[in-house]
Amino acid sequence: MIKKLTSLAAIALICMAGAKAQTFKVPLSWHMLDPIKDSGVYGVSATRSYDELLKGKTSQKVIVGVVDSGADTLQEDLNDVLWHNPKEIPHDNKDNDKDGYVDDYYGWNFLGGKSDTSNVTDDTRESSRYYFAYKTQFEKYKDSTQVPAKDREHYRIWLQAKDIELSATDAAKEAAAIERISSLLPQISDFSKVLLKDTFNLEDVKAYSPIDRKTSAEKQIYTILLEKVAPGTTNITLPGKLSQLMDSLKTANQLPQTAPPAYRANVVKDNYNDFNDKYYGNSNISAGDVMHGTHVSGIIGAVRNNNLGMDGIADNVALLEVRTVPGGGDEHDKDVALAIMYAVDHGAKVINMSFGKPISPNRNWVESAIRYAQKHDVLLVHAAGNDGKDITGMPNYPTQYYGPNDSKNFDNVITVGASGAMEDDLVAEFSNFSKTAVDVFAPGVEIYSTLPGKDNYGSLSGTSMASPVVAGVAAVIRSYYPKLTAPQVKQLIMASVTKIDFPVMNPATGEATKLSELCISGGIVNLYNALKMLEDHQFPLKGTTK
């Protein structure tokens, strides 16, 4: 769930809102900073917390489960904080601790075959797998009234999968991008005055030299759109030409005809439909592309104050790696559920889940695992997703909601949207949001962390980065205040956010709104505030002090 910030439309939306040009140079590790003490940088105040509140205090080591793509065990800033199974002897080909997983010294790889050199790297979308699994059964029906009652839920999900597949084609993606950008045209109707021409074409636009951020964005928008249509199109004829192009793209949009390869099944070879068939995979947590998991791991707990690379948020953690997310495509529900249970069984008190998908055919397995974590007092932190949309009623699975019509919710799951460093771009243009389904926002734009390689570091963006920021905050709280329960930690994190009282941008519409309209708490996670509430006994729950 990494997101590259390349959306010209989003840049333009910020400009249209009259945002001020950013003159302050944001530090690499901005997410550690404090909005009051550090020039209005909306980090989580981790540095301030260690400087002012945690000095001299003792802590307990917290195991954090990282359910992700695996990690590079040789990364210099991670090597000393990776979890080691105390009951397992590495590389002896024996199940020393009798947990059913052989040589699980660093964790486990649920995307592996029996050999540690046989591993799933890329996979397919869940929607594609589901669409083809039920295509023969359901394509003959015109509506749900024709479907046997026992199959109607499968039919509903199949229709959803079909819609996703249609929207995932190249034609659909291009149409969506054009629609998104062309929707900005009414907001820049004065561009003819900027060019001093009532009628202008692509050549006129390209020849113009922008004078500020706003006119630069306007030039980019017109350049993109005029390059999409026939030569000679002007600003006057552009709307009609774009409409014709959209119609042609819709006509060309066709569902795939060939089922995708069974990447996972061909390697893992478990009985996928039997949840009790769970002792599959191998011990190689560094298989395939581990960039995502390595970066996420560093955000949570890279060694602090060692004069290498960067500092993680949490200072006393062990990172338990559970490889579950392929380099491409969607994770499988069975793997996710077993990964959560594996992390719980091996002592994790916080689990980070920087992944998600729009349909979850076996969500009952995952919900059982979340319930298992709940029973064992484990907090799950989940990324909201990078589609820039409102996920109210459209979950990015796994979700904290369950039961009939999603009427119930787990109190040990916290869902995280992504925020930027400064006031003028506080809500990431790619972040999903919801007034009821996203709990908090946290730094997720250009987050500097560990990358695969002994001494490799870099910045990535996504709610995938925001989620481990919160997981790191939760780990600090559980480390210094171990009597707090998982639900209490969630409540504390939400209660102690930096409240945002200025307008922010709605990622879906580009319109100004309140952050309280985009998430439940209406704020950015702040570790200092959370610790101060505990220190001052302002958090109204029992067990809030050591």
- Residue 8: what pLDDT? 40
* In the chain, ranges of CATH 3.40.50.200 domains: 8-123+269-535
pLDDT grade, residue 1 (50/70/90)?
low
Q: Any idea which residue has 């990078």 for tokens?
A: 386
- Residue 23: what pLDDT? 47
Q: Is 456 helix (H, G, I), strand (E, B) or coil?
A: strand
Burial class (CB in 10 A: 0-12, 13-18, 19+), 229: middle
Higher pLDDT, 172 or 403: 403
Res. 5: pLDDT tops 70: no
- Residue 541: what pLDDT? 56
- Alpha-carbon distance of 419 to 465, in angstroms, equals 10
State the CB neighbour count (10 A cutoff) for residue 163: 13
pLDDT digits over 184-215, tens only? Answer: 888 776 888 889 999 999 999 999 999 888 88
- Residue 174: what pLDDT? 86
- Alpha-carbon distance of 437 to 433, in angstroms, equals 8
- Residue 305: what pLDDT? 95
Q: What is the mean pLDDT of residues 168-195?
A: 82
**Token output for 502:** 């200025």
Q: Which letter does DSSP use for residue 99 in this model?
A: S
- Alpha-carbon distance of 264 to 113, in angstroms, equals 9
Q: What percent of the chain clears pLDDT 70, i.e. is strictly above it?
A: 94
CA atoms 189, 193, 199, 200: torsion sign: negative
Among the listed ranges 96-100, 252-256, 500-504, which one has the minimum average pLDDT value?
A: 252-256
Among the listed ranges 138-147, 169-178, 442-451, 498-507, which one has the minimum average pLDDT value?
A: 169-178
Res. 160: pLDDT tops 70: yes
Res. 466: pLDDT tops 90: yes
Radius of gyration of the chain (CA): 24
- CB neighbour list of residue 345: distance below 8 Å, 6 or more residues apart: 99
pLDDT digits over 328-349, tens only? Answer: 999 999 999 999 999 999 999 9
pLDDT grade, residue 175 (50/70/90)?
confident
Query: CA separation (Å) from 155 to 138, 358, 399, 401?
Result: 7, 16, 21, 21
- Alpha-carbon distance of 203 to 214, in angstroms, equals 20
What are the contacts of 533-542 at 24+ separation with CB within 8 A?
533/492, 533/495, 533/496, 534/477, 534/481, 534/492, 535/53, 539/488, 539/492, 539/495, 541/484, 541/488, 541/491, 541/492
Under CATH, which number does the domain 8-123+269-535 receive?
Answer: 3.40.50.200
- Residue 188: what pLDDT? 76
Q: Which letter does DSSP use for residue 425 in this model?
A: G
pLDDT digits over 264-279, tens only? Answer: 999 999 999 999 999 9
- Residue 172: what pLDDT? 80
Res. 47: pLDDT tops 50: yes
In sequence order, what are the beta bridge partners of 82? 319
Q: Is 488 helix (H, G, I), strand (E, B) or coil?
A: helix
Inter-residue contact 410 to 370 (CB < 8 Å): yes
- Alpha-carbon distance of 306 to 310, in angstroms, equals 9
- Residue 451: what pLDDT? 98
- Residue 253: what pLDDT? 77
pLDDT digits over 467-516, tens only? Answer: 999 999 999 999 999 999 999 999 999 999 999 999 999 999 889 999 99
Q: What is the mean pLDDT of residues 154-158?
A: 95
Helix 170-182 and helix 213-228: axis angle, to 10°? Answer: 140
Res. 2: pLDDT tops 80: no
pLDDT digits over 353-397, tens only? Answer: 999 999 999 999 999 999 999 999 999 999 999 999 999 999 999
In sequence order, what are the beta bridge partners of 441? 417, 524
Inter-residue contact 325 to 105 (CB < 8 Å): no
Q: What is the mean pLDDT of residues 236-258?
A: 87
What are the contacts of 56-61 at 24+ separation with CB within 8 A?
57/480, 58/480, 59/315, 59/316, 59/479, 59/480, 60/316, 60/479, 60/482, 61/316, 61/317, 61/318, 61/479
Q: What is the mean pLDDT of the chain?
A: 92
Q: Where are the alpha helices (DSSP H) in 208-269?
A: 213-228, 238-252, 263-268
- Residue 539: what pLDDT? 75
